[in-house]
Amino acid sequence: MFKEVVEVIEVLDKKVKVRFEKNKACVCCNVSQICNRGDGILIIPKRAWDLKSGGRIEISIDERKMFLANLLLFLLPMVIFITTLILTKGSQEFFSFLYGFLAIFIYYVLVKIILKKYGNKFDVKILKKV
């Protein structure tokens, strides 16, 4: 289970707005701008916790869901790109490369549409107050 300590910014009716900071592992990661975009603000369900602004809480995400996210965002597009290169190997190299990027672009557009339609299913849970 991936755990992180975050700061409560604002307590809403049924949700909590929290701010997280990049940890030391994120600094040396080449793709940290993808997962830590913006100012590091996340809105999560409050459930039965009594939280106040300025407090610190520990949140977690299930490892299986993190693995699924990595699979959908990194491994599957790579497979799509390589498959497109193999399927278009009879054409010129430039066009084959272009078709590969087009396939990845279409894939990410579809992922974006599906996430907008079905919402975020990565359930972030509050473990404890710190």
Give the pLDDT confidence score for residue 15 in this predicted structure.
Answer: 84
Give the pLDDT confidence score for residue 30 in this predicted structure.
Answer: 52
Give the pLDDT confidence score for residue 35 in this predicted structure.
Answer: 54
Report if pTM > 0.75.
no
The single residue listed with the structure tokens 């869901």 is 65
Residues in the chain predicted with pLDDT less than 70, given as ranges, are 22-39, 119-122
